[in-house]
Structure 1
Amino acid sequence: MVWSDEHGNRLDDYAQPSVAVDVALLTLDPEGRLAVVVHDRPGAHEHGRPALPGTFLHVDRNETLREAALRALRAKVNVRGHEPRQLAVFDDPGRDPRGRVLSVAHVDLVPPEAIAATSGVLVAVDELPHTLAYDHDRVVTAAVAHVRALYHRLPDPARLAGEEFTLLELQQVHQAVLGERLQKDTFRRHTAPHLVETGEVRAGGVGKPARTFRRR
């Protein structure tokens, strides 16, 4: 049985756009700033321009969007073992000069040590080139807004500070992700309901040892 709609058209009678995935992989750079992993495009199209790791979906292989995103990370920036989440669909008809391409953008925020072997380049999100390849600057903007919204609500959901941390370490991570200075007392009142003390202390450079916490 061949499917057709109320006009008698089959699915292949309609124009089929290409589907791509692009991954905004965020982390902290060596200077403690929120950064994104980019690479210089090697192909003929947009050659040499910085871009997010991305690829076309292999429909003929029954590839899922998740599988395509993981493949893009492996092939373009040598990153393995992560689980980027779907962020948004970018469907501007002019976003790719090669033709109509829908991009299902993905986002992930990981500790720096998790991508130590990457072949990509870390660029602070506030110092990105004026225009990345295609519309990847818009993808990064959306990804940054997404992770900052998470960090406004919860204490370090990506666990950049590890499983146990001092309040100062937690605040420093939030400041890096949010890109702003936080008032200590206000921050601690906001995060206190989500934390429990471990009963341990950690020696610091100056002053008495600091109590450590974990997420509730």
Structure 2
Amino acid sequence: MKTPQNAPRASLLNYPRPSVAVDTAVLTVAEGSVCVLLVRRAEDHQHGKWALPGTFLRERETLADAVLRCLREKAGISGRVPRQLQVFDEPGRDDRGWVLSVAHVDVVPLAGLEEAMKSDGVRLASVTGEPELIAGLPYGHADIVAKAVEWLRAAYVEAPDPGALLDEPFTLKDLRELHEAVAGQTLMRDTFRRFMEPKLVATGQMSDGTRGRPSRLWMRAGRAE
């Protein structure tokens, strides 16, 4: 059966459109645990609750600009280049309506968060030590944190400290302890050394021995000058 020529045609403009938000999981390692940065919501909705830094996309604003604006205004963080992680589009993830979140992730050394942490509205949460807090985050943020930690662990399996959380130079023990914190489990020392040493550059220097016996100092190969 043919549709009459004068019948109204369906238009994409007539379909409901989701709001677009960006949420960023800023990860670091503190006290031997992977931690995520949370901000206390100042908005009316979920006021006072801890959440990932997030914001709605403004008209004609790029995703990258929205992320940087949000981190600057809500967490006091600037000078970073977060990477896109995944789109979260479950219709029921946000009780305000249909909100599509383009999640981002960044890995920041703890020292790089010192200024942000001076605010009472910013804190770190251990992803393993505070499971109830993480699970109770609004707007499906727990799923974003889980995906960000999964991405971080996969990256640290393949390369020595790709997030540059350690100051250079460092010992193999320092590196292994960091990777154990990221992995959330103990790593075999000899296996770790054999896999990581070819990806490092020896400095020719030794540690001062303040943490055990003096050990060789290394740099990440991709960052050596």
TM-score of the superposed pair, with normalisation by structure 2? 0.87
Please report how far the alpha carbon of residue 32 of structure 1 lies from its aligned counterpart in structure 2 after TM superposition: 2.9
5+ residue gaps, structure 1, are 1-6
The corresponding residue for 2:13 is 12
The corresponding residue for 2:43 is 43
> In structure 2, how many angstroms separate the alpha carbons of the residues matched to 1:167 and 1:187?
9
State the secondary structure of the residue aligned to 2:143. helix
> In structure 2, how many angstroms separate the alpha carbons of the residues matched to 1:24 and 1:184?
30
5+ residue gaps, structure 2, are 1-7
User: Alpha carbon RMSD of aligned pairs, Å?
Assistant: 1.6
State the secondary structure of the residue aligned to 1:165. coil
Please report how far the alpha carbon of residue 115 of structure 1 lies from its aligned counterpart in structure 2 after TM superposition: 1.2
Describe the shift of the 1:75–1:204 C-alpha distance in structure 2 as closer, same or farther (beyond 3 A): same
> In structure 1, how many angstroms separate the alpha carbons of the residues matched to 2:75 and 2:198?
38
> In structure 2, how many angstroms separate the alpha carbons of the residues matched to 1:116 and 1:206?
25
After superposition, give the CA deviation of every residue in 1:30-67 in whole Å (9 maximum; x if it has no partner): x2321000122122211222110000001x2x211011
Any runs of at least 4 consecutive aligned residues in structure 1 with deviations exceeding 6 A, and if so which? none
The corresponding residue for 1:154 is 159
TM-score of the superposed pair, with normalisation by structure 1? 0.90
> In structure 1, how many angstroms separate the alpha carbons of the residues matched to 2:97 and 2:90?
11
Q: How many residues align?
A: 207
After superposition, give the CA deviation of every residue in 1:62-106 in whole Å (9 maximum; x if it has no partner): 211011111111111111111111000000101111111100000
Alignment of 1:60-209 (within 5 A): 60=59, 62-118=60-116, 119=119, 120-126=122-128, 127-128=130-131, 129=133, 130-205=135-210, 207-209=212-214
> In structure 2, how many angstroms separate the alpha carbons of the residues matched to 1:83 and 1:32?
25
Alignment of 1:21-36 (within 5 A): 21-29=22-30, 31-36=31-36
Residue 24 of structure 1 aligns to which amino acid in structure 2? A
